[in-house]
């Protein structure tokens, strides 16, 4: 299950030396900055023509604050045109999405996922309906621009209602849509596709299938929401026998290969080694599984490889002011987070990793790999401080990664939760 945010490690201090706005460049550190100045960038996807990256920005919250969380309409969808160029054009194609974040704008949750549809200039967005109460109405929205240049935002599918009616994981009623994958069934016929939505709080991947015959000029098509894949919710409060419970899958990432197989990445209750990637056929049959990851927030595939973002990898998140244990310290000067690559056709393939600060969405074009980085920070960036003992690491951005210096890593073996202590005299 996943509540208001993916992470629970608290606010992050802002860096003072970071320029706002979109940009590009090369810092000489094994990556190329494709776009920066992003607010909590999450999922990456390709446009239908495969010429641009679609970037979901969860936003930076806003001025409506209560209980240490601040809401506002700061979520957005950005487009990076031809990211392989030295100076790619970066633009905002939709904005005004509901966002909830810490007072400093970090650790946002909101418009976490986005993908292009088979209608030119139109996008499906996994987030929250701005017309409803913040963070209480998980929705799939449709955003785009009309020929007149006027932007539109349509509350398309009510995922919270589906969770209330179906509750596939049989646990608490809560929706937190975190990634979306548009499936175009016939590229020569538009519109005709459907969407898969990874709902982290519902522990479910939903299938949202529109009936386009019901669409009118004034209303979107009717739709059907069905359970496509579900995992049990086990870590429930109040479980005296096992308060931690087995780790939960918690789907947060989606990708598809050329054959239509779907790859789902899970957070694994943010426990070291408990996160997994599961490969499904297009109709939801489980085909393959890769285990031993930590806090997955992005997946991508190309012809030969599976790429995985470990938000905190290789260790689970630590409380503010603490570093990972001595048994698994980060490299000198490194920050939490890794992107791992594995040959997905080799059962005994070696895993290799590069250090990437708080990575989220991934996208590959077969020759380059792109990553959303600093996915928990506002555009102001992350600075050194009690909540971040790893040094300043900048603000939200998209990087093109250099995998030539990737180093070998082993799958992380899960650590069994400690048994609860017996009551005195018991």
**Across all residues in the chain, what is the average pLDDT?**
83
Rounded average pLDDT over 227-255: 79
Strand partners, 408: 352
Confidence of residue 151 (pLDDT cuts 50, 70, 90): confident
Rounded average pLDDT over 348-370: 94
Rounded average pLDDT over 121-140: 90
Q: Which two tokens stand for residue 13?
A: 């201090």
Rounded average pLDDT over 302-329: 68
pLDDT of 17 strictly over 70: no
Per-residue model confidence (pLDDT) at position 25: 47
Among candidates 39, 44, 43, which has minimal Cα distance to 100? 39
Least confident segment among 154-163, 195-204, 211-220, 370-379: 211-220
Among candidates 346, 371, 342, which has minimal Cα distance to 359? 371
Angstrom distances, CA of residue 370 to CA of 155, 300, 337, 349? 29, 9, 15, 22
Rounded Cα distance, 137 and 65, in Å: 18
Rounded average pLDDT over 152-158: 90
Rounded Cα distance, 218 and 154, in Å: 10
Per-residue model confidence (pLDDT) at position 187: 82
Confidence of residue 237 (pLDDT cuts 50, 70, 90): low
pLDDT of 329 strictly over 70: no
pLDDT of 119 strictly over 70: yes
Q: What percent of the chain stands above pLDDT 70?
A: 80
Least confident segment among 72-86, 137-151, 190-204: 137-151
Confidence of residue 147 (pLDDT cuts 50, 70, 90): confident
What burial class does residue 152 get, using C-beta atoms within 10 Å of its C-beta: 0-12 exposed, 13-18 middle, 19+ buried? exposed
Rounded Cα distance, 280 and 230, in Å: 12
Q: Which two tokens stand for residue 298?
A: 């992005």
Per-residue model confidence (pLDDT) at position 386: 52
pLDDT of 422 strictly over 50: no
Question: Which residue did the predictor score with more confidence, 258 or 234?
Answer: 258
pTM above 0.75, yes or no: yes
Least confident segment among 45-54, 131-140, 318-327: 318-327
Per-residue model confidence (pLDDT) at position 23: 44
Per-residue model confidence (pLDDT) at position 340: 97
Angstrom distances, CA of residue 215 to CA of 220, 221, 256? 5, 4, 27
Q: How does strand 222-230 pair with strand 204-211?
A: antiparallel
Q: What pLDDT, in 10s, does the model give residues 260-304?
A: 999 999 999 888 899 999 999 999 999 999 999 999 999 999 999
What burial class does residue 287 get, using C-beta atoms within 10 Å of its C-beta: 0-12 exposed, 13-18 middle, 19+ buried? exposed
Q: Residue 160 in 3-state DSSP?
A: helix
Chain-centroid distance of CA 94 in Å reads 18
Q: In terms of residues, how long is the chain?
A: 426
Question: Domains in the chain, start-ordered, CATH in brackets?
Answer: 25-409 (2.120.10.30)
Question: Which residue did the predictor score with more confidence, 243 or 306?
Answer: 306
Per-residue model confidence (pLDDT) at position 384: 60
pLDDT of 243 strictly over 70: no
Per-residue model confidence (pLDDT) at position 323: 45
In terms of phi and psi (left: phi > 0; alpha: psi -120 to 50; beta: otherwise), the region of 404 is alpha
Confidence of residue 314 (pLDDT cuts 50, 70, 90): confident
Confidence of residue 3 (pLDDT cuts 50, 70, 90): very low
Per-residue model confidence (pLDDT) at position 198: 98
Question: Which residue did the predictor score with more confidence, 106 or 2?
Answer: 106
């Amino acid at each position: 299950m996943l509540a208001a945010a993916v992470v629970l490690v608290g606010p992050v201090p802002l860096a003072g030396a970071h320029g706002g706005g979109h940009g590009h460049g090369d810092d000489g550190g094994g990556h190329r900055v494709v776009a920066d100045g992003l607010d909590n960038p999450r999922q990456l996807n390709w446009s239908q023509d495969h010429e641009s990256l679609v970037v979901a920005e969860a936003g930076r919250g806003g001025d409506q604050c209560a209980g240490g969380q601040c809401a506002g309409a700061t979520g957005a969808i950005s487009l990076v045109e031809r990211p392989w160029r030295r100076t790619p054009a970066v633009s905002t194609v939709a904005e005004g999405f509901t966002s909830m974040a810490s007072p400093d704008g970090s650790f946002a949750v909101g418009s976490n996922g986005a993908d292009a549809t088979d209608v030119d200039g139109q996008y499906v967005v996994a987030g929250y309906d701005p017309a409803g109460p913040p963070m209480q109405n998980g929705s799939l929205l449709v955003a785009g621009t009309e020929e007149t240049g006027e932007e539109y935002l349509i509350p398309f599918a009510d995922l919270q209602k589906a969770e209330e009616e179906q509750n596939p994981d049989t646990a608490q009623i809560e929706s937190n849509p975190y990634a979306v994958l548009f499936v175009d069934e016939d590229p020569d016929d538009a519109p005709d596709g459907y969407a898969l939505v990874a709902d982290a709080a519902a522990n479910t991947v939903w299938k949202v299938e529109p009936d386009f015959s019901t669409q009118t000029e004034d209303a979107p098509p009717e739709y059907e929401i069905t359970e496509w894949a579900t995992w049990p919710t086990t870590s429930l409060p109040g479980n005296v026998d096992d308060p931690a419970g087995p780790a939960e899958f918690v789907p947060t990432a989606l990708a598809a290969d050329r054959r239509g197989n779907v790859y789902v990445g899970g957070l694994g209750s943010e426990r070291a080694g408990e996160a997994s990637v599961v490969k499904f056929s297009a109709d939801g049959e489980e085909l393959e599984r890769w285990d031993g990851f930590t806090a997955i927030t992005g997946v991508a595939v190309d012809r030969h490889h599976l790429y995985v973002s470990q938000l905190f990898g290789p260790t689970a998140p630590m409380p503010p002011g603490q570093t990972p244990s001595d048994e698994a310290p980060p490299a000198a000067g490194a920050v939490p987070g890794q992107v791992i690559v594995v040959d997905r056709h080799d059962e005994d393939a070696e895993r290799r990793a590069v250090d990437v600060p708080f990575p989220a969405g991934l996208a590959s074009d077969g020759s380059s790999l792109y990553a959303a980085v600093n996915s928990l920070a506002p555009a102001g960036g992350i600075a050194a401080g009690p909540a971040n003992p790893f040094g300043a690491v900048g603000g939200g951005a998209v990087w093109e990664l250099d995998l030539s210096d990737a180093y070998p890593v082993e799958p992380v073996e899960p650590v069994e939760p400690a048994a609860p202590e017996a009551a005195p005299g018991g």
